[in-house]
Amino acid sequence: MKAIFIAFNQAYNMEIADILEEFGCRGMTMWQDVCGRGTSTGEPHLGNHAWPTMNNAILAMVPADKVDAILEALKAKDEDTPALGLRAYVWSVEKSY
Model confidence over 17-59: pLDDT tens digits? 999 999 999 889 999 999 888 777 777 888 888 888 899 999 9
Cα torsion angle, 83, 90, 61, 20, sign: positive
Domains of the chain: 2-92 (3.30.70.120)
Neighbours of 55 (CB within 10 A): 27
Q: Which residues in the chain belong to E strands, given as ranges?
A: 2-9, 28-34, 55-62, 86-92
pLDDT, average across residues 63-90: 95
pLDDT at 60: 97
pTM for the predicted model, two decimal places: 0.90
Confidence band for 77, pLDDT divided at 50, 70 and 90: very high
Q: Report the pLDDT averaged over residues 59-70.
A: 97
